[in-house]
Amino acid sequence: MRSFNDRAVIRDTLEMIARQTYRDFELWSFDSSSTDGTLEIIQEFNAPERIRRNDPAHYNPGRVLNEAVRTVGGEVVVFLNSDATPERADWLETLIAPLADPRVGATFGRQSARPDCRALFEKDTERAYGDGRESATWVHFFSMANCATRREVLERFPFETRVQYSEDIEWSYRLRKAGLEIRYVPTAAAMHSHNYTLRQAYKRQFGEGKAEAWIFREGELNTSFLRYCLLPFGMEVLRDLRWAVTHRSLDAALHALPLRAVQKWGRWRGLSAGRSLDDRR
């Protein structure tokens, strides 16, 4: 479990882990030197020898994840963000069950919006997850916030340290290209959502666009400005407005244009920055 300043939700997550029907597991905590009391809550639930701290100023997700894999035991490794709260007591056994099939390289569970989630972030969460049919049509989709894999897979495919965002997409896409199945488990659900400000949304999309330049460097995506930025912007706004009307949400209607403009422009700028770096290598 990775954590950073998640005091508001981590206790609920840890309590749900303690309630799991599957009991044969160890919890390991990797905290990015939280300053809000998160670490003190972790210490209520976990033994000191299974708590590790890292420096957020020099945080690299791939490096932290590779260190975690070397640290923990077990033939199956589950990754759960501290702000992803399992919804059911059988979450763990449901999430890991498909790994009995050697053709399955990794599983990931559904994510649902928290009660305080803003309208469009709720809509995005349901569209990406839900029954899985929508995201199954995308080039690739995965999330490490709520996922599981086998140790032998992690040893064959360590995490990439050259990306600062979307390390889970990069890793799982390599598994798929190697012929392993990525299995979505909608019944292994966890509450996980964020109310990003426009500035935060731009930063995240910039990082993900930059990472996509590396992950899909073999031409899997159409990266013209029209197909990567402009058309997705228009289509997303139309989906937002339809959703706003259906759900009678004024917040969604007013939020659509500024949010999508910031997201799509940030992702385009990130992709451009990533391609420039790639050209200089």
Question: Rounded to whole angstroms, how far apart are CA atoms 220 and 229?
Answer: 16
The whole-number average pLDDT for the span 14-31 is: 97
Is 73:27 a contact under the CB 8 Å cutoff?
Answer: no
Kindly tell me if the per-residue pLDDT of 280 is higher than 50. no
Task: Indicate the helix (H) or strand (E) that contains 256.
Answer: helix 250-280
CA-nearest of 92, 85, 15, 28 to 54 is 28
Domain ranges of the chain: 2-191, 198-280
Nearest C-alpha neighbor of 169 from the set 199, 129, 140, 201: 140
Q: Quick one: 2-191 is in which CATH superfamily?
A: Spore Coat Polysaccharide Biosynthesis Protein SpsA; Chain A (3.90.550.10)
pLDDT at 279 over 70: no
Distance (Å, rounded) from C-alpha 104 to C-alpha 81?
22
Instruction: Give the global pTM.
Output: 0.93
Is the distance from CB of 266 to CB of 210 less than 8 angstroms? no
Q: Are 24 and 73 in contact (CB under 8 A)?
A: no
Q: Which band of pLDDT confidence, cut at 50, 70 and 90, is reported for residue 58?
A: confident
Reported as a single tens digit per residue, the pLDDT across 67-96 is 999 999 999 999 999 999 999 999 999 999
Element (DSSP H or E) covering residue 280: helix 250-280
Secondary-structure breakdown of the chain: helix, strand, coil percentages, each rounded to the nearest 5: 55, 15, 35
179-213 residue pLDDT tens: 999 999 999 999 999 999 999 999 999 999 999 99
Query: In the structure encoding, which two tokens stand for residue 213, read together?
Result: 């330049």
